[in-house]
Amino acid sequence: MGEAGIAAGGAPVDELTQDGMAPPHSNSNSLPDSDSNSNTGCAANRSYRCELPAEKEIVARIGSFVERCKKLQDEASVHSSRIRAEAQVLSQHALAYDAEIKSLKGEIAALLEKDMVGNHLVEKLDDDLYRARSMIYEGDVAALLPHKSNGLFLRLLLGPVNVRATRNDARFKVKEEYNTYRDRTAVLFLAFPCVLLLLKNFLWSGCFPAVPVQAYQAWLLFFYTSLALRENILRVNGSDIRPWWVYHHYFAMVTALVSLTWGIQGHPSCVRKQEAVRHFLSWAAMQGVSMLLQNRYQRQRLYTRIALGKAGRMDVVWGETAGMKGQIWVLYPLLFILQAFQFFIGFKLLKTPMVDKDYDWQMVACGVLLIVMAVGNFANTMATVATKVKVKSRMKRKLQRMSSKTS
Domain range holding 259?
151-390
Specify if 12 maps to a domain.
no
Mean of the pLDDT values across residues 248-255? 94
227 and 105 in one domain? no
Mean pLDDT, range 310-337, rounded to an integer: 63
Instruction: Quote the percentage of the chain above a pLDDT of 90.
Output: 17
278 and 199 share one domain: yes
Same domain, yes or no: 73 and 206: no
* Upper half-sphere CA count for residue 398 (Cβ side, 13 Å): 11
Q: Cβ distance 261 to 173 under 8 Å? A: no
Q: Do 130 and 169 belong together in one domain?
A: no
Instruction: Give the C-alpha separation, 229 to 221, whole Å.
Output: 12
Q: How many Å is the maximal CA-CA distance in the chain?
A: 132
Q: What is the pLDDT of residue 79?
A: 92
**How far apart are alpha carbons 218 and 165 in whole angstroms?**
31
The whole-number pLDDT of residue 229 equals: 93
Burial classification of residue 224, based on how many CB atoms lie within 10 Å of its CB (0-12 exposed, 13-18 middle, 19 or more buried): buried
Q: Are residues 226 and 274 in the same domain?
A: yes
Q: How far is CA 72 from CA 41, 78, 150, in A?
A: 21, 10, 34
| Claim to verify: residue 107 and residue 252 sit in the same structural domain | no
Mean pLDDT, residues 373-392 taken together:
84
What is the tens place of the pLDDT at every residue in 127-144? Answer: 888 888 877 777 677 777
Please say if the pLDDT value at position 18 is more than 90: no
How far is the C-alpha of 145 from the C-alpha of 171, rounded, in Å? 14
For the cut 60, the answer to whether the pLDDT of residue 11 exceeds it is no
| Helix or strand run (H / E) with residue 349 | helix 325-350
Q: Is residue 404 part of a domain?
A: no
Angle at 240 between CA 237 and CA 241, to 5 degrees: 105
Q: What angle do CA 266, 270, 275 make, to 5 degrees?
A: 145
Same domain, 165 and 207: yes
Q: What is the mean pLDDT of residues 365-384?
A: 91
**Contacts of residue 400, Cβ cutoff 8 Å, sequence gap at least 6:** none
Nearest residue to 183 via CA among 292, 288, 285:
292
| 336, 381 Cβ separation under 8 angstroms | yes
Number of domains composing the chain: 2
Residue 178 lies in a domain: yes
- Same domain? For 187 and 139 the reply is no
Task: Judge whether residue 270 has pLDDT over 80.
Answer: no
Residues 168 and 138 in one domain: no
Residue 309, in any domain of the structure:
yes
Domain presence at residue 50: no
Whether residue 163 sits in one domain with residue 113: no
Under the banding of pLDDT at 50, 70 and 90, the label for residue 29 is: very low
Q: Which of 282, 144, 262, 255 is nearest to 201 (CA)?
A: 282
Asked if residue 128 and residue 169 are part of one domain, the reply reads: no
Query: 109 with 215, same domain?
Result: no
Instruction: Give the mean pLDDT of the chain.
Output: 77
Residue 316 included in any domain = yes
Confidence check: pLDDT of 359 > 80: no
DSSP 55-114: HHHHHHHHHHHHHHHHHHHHHHHHHHHHHHHHHHHHHHHHHHHHHHHHHHHHHHHHHHHT
